[in-house]
Amino acid sequence: MKKKTLVPLIVFLLGICLVSFIVYKTDTHEREQRHITAQLNAATYGERIKNEITDGIEITNALGQILISENGEIHQFDTIAGNLMSDSIESVQLAPDGIVTDIYPTAGNEAGKIDLIHDKDRGKISCYARDNHTIITQGPFELKQGGYGIAVRNPVYLKDKNEQEYFWGFTIVILRVPDIFSDSIHALSDFGYEYRILKTETPWSDTYKVVYQSDGQINHPVSYAFTIGNENWKFEVTPKSGWRNNILIVVTSGIFLAIILFLSILTRVWLVAKENKNKFQILAHTDSLTGIYNRYGFDGLAEKMISKNPQTHFVAALLDIDDFKLINDIYGHSYGDRALKSLADSMKAFFPSNALLGRNGGDEFGILLPNCTFKEVAQQMQQFTKLPKTFSHMGKGQQFYISLGYAEYPTFASSYSQLMRCADAALYEIKLHGKNGCMAYREGLQSGVRKQLGFAFKDISEHLPGAFIIYRADRKDDELFYANNEFLHMSGYKDIDELFRLTKKSFRNLIREDEQQQIESSIWEQIDSGNENDYIHFHLRKADGTYLSVLDHGRIVYSQQHGRVFYVLFMDWEDMHIHYNKILKEKVKDKNVYIK
């Protein structure tokens, strides 16, 4: 997986882990805070509920004090009870010997006059209160008037004449549920809590019974416990929205995920930009055709290497392809590019990995070898120069040659620029001495701007005073390489491609069929006799199938690229005769005048 994909993915995954940790810590903290807040509310309002129930119990205590002070008698009970009543109290009762005899208000409560001690549902707990001198609460139970109530029974004890304590009976208050603690539960509901009030079913039991609860679901509540008499009560609360703050979690997760996603995208953009910057830097310093450094890259790195290591010996070489323009003119620029690429590939394969290689432009290349002298690399340079170099043309390998000049720093140069001038002078010297060789710079060679070594081949051929072609000198397999515009014009071909197509690139197909064997024999007879030149008169086949009488002046030469080749000039036979006959007549005329 590419770095620009892997790194953002790692950033994203690490970000997810970080977000998960942050969300977990936020959620844990929020739950702890909610638990603390809920516990405080449970304790606060649980204590209020206890006090509200205790206020009801105080009514039974007040009645008990009156009974004790009045020796078991309460006069004007209805008046006293009426003054003690509140909205949360259903009724006030007296039960001498455990039998309810007085109830306020009387209307609607007649059924409440029962024997508590012997009642099936109330007897056991009433006897427990009597025998243990403790207040008991019982309920909730359904009231005949509607709603629910809790009975508070407070045992009252008097003393006889002998100061012996005896059970008088119960003072009783029936509390309305949930009116008795409505303020507390309304406040909790407004604060967003579900709640539940529980008490033990009996003083001797550990089983809790719900006294009152809200309508919502209560999950994992916090509780506040309190005791009334010998009975245990619990007040439980839980947030309506749960212990988790889902909105906070979603918002926190969303914000941090967006940040992580943004950072991941930013990381990828940065990596892509960095990669593109590196690519652009490479492209800016690299020759696209050969894959080695271009002039800008080669010069920059070479100068940097020398400046960083001024005491190190370096050898710089400049080389180019011999007669490169001829390759382009004969085969075309695409094959010239093949030759350039082939040369660069051979450089990369031949020289060590620490060698700096570059294409300076056109067919000129540069090499910089560190930690060596010109004497140490002499054999290496000679070997590389003579190494066969070819490019493919129509399935065949076409050979080409190079010239190379090299110089040493700091022996002959004090700077990189001077070093390259010395190498250039050595290369120029090789060109002057026949090309296809290598030479080390020595004192006395002219450095500086290289002189023009000659005219461009195409420029010369197009301005020759006549038609001109080049073809391979092979008895059985001749091949046309080149024809100038003068020849194309003379023979009626619109361009060289049409010439190659109609003649199948063979010189033989330019000769009239009945003359082919005779003309070829004459050419090779002249060559075999030791002449470099041949002169042939024959009929040249034109593009339209007609023939033109021409004089062929050919010269056979040896080419490093193609072996033996013919360079041939053509002259129109009839035009030549007309021209020379005219000159002859003029000379005869001038002579006659002179005789006279």
pLDDT tens-digit readout, 290-311: 999 999 999 999 999 999 999 9
What pLDDT is stored for residue 278 in this prediction? 64
Tokens of 362: 């056109």
Q: Residue 448 has what pLDDT?
A: 45
Which pLDDT score is estimated for 576?
80
pLDDT of residue 454: 47
Contacts of 376 (CB under 8 A, 6+ apart): 315
**CB 471 within 8 Å of CB 559:** no
Q: Which pLDDT value is given to residue 453?
A: 47
Contact yes or no for 213/197 (Cβ under 8 A): yes
Q: Cα-flanking dihedrals φ and ψ of residue 425, to 5°?
A: -65, -40
Q: What angle do CA 124, 128, 131 make, to 5 degrees?
A: 130
Q: Which amino acid is at 242?
A: G
Give the C-alpha separation, 485 to 523, whole Å: 24
Q: Using CA atoms, how far apart are residues 376 and 423, in angstroms rounded to an integer?
A: 16
Q: Tell how far CA 198 is from the center of its chain.
A: 61
pLDDT of residue 455: 52
Spell out the residues 6+ positions from residue 329 whose beta carbon is closer than 8 angstroms to its own. 457, 458, 461, 482
d(CA 357, CA 291): 10
Helix (H) or strand (E) holding 409: strand 402-409
CA angle 421, 423, 426 (to 5 degrees): 110
- What pTM does this model have? 0.50
Distance, in Å, from the CA atom of 228 to the CA atom of 50, rounded to the nearest integer, reads 8
pLDDT (0 to 100) of residue 37: 94
Structure tokens at 489: 């014009």
Looking at residue 330, its pLDDT comes to 81
| Residue ranges, the chain, pLDDT below 50 | 448-449, 451-454, 592-596
Compute the distance between CA of residue 229 and CA of residue 154 in angstroms, rounded to an integer.
10
Kindly report whether the peptide bond that precedes residue 96 is cis, defined as omega within 30 degrees of 0.
no
CB 357 within 8 A of CB 367: yes
Separation CA 347–CA 352 (nearest Å): 9
Q: Nearest-CA neighbor of 488 among 578, 432, 442, 548?
A: 548
| Cβ count near 208 (within 10 Å) | 16
Q: Domains, the chain, ranges and CATH?
A: 25-239 (3.30.450.20), 295-440 (3.30.70.270), 457-580 (3.30.450.20)
**Sign of the C-alpha dihedral, residues 291, 296, 299, 302?**
negative
Rounded to 10 degrees, the C-alpha dihedral 85/89/92/97 comes to -150
Compute CA distances 143 → 108, 111, 177, whole Å. Answer: 10, 11, 10
> Residues with Cβ < 8 Å from 59, sequence gap 6 or more?
84, 89, 92, 171, 173
In the prediction, which pLDDT does 515 show? 92
**Is there a contact between 149 and 212 (Cβ–Cβ < 8 Å)?**
no
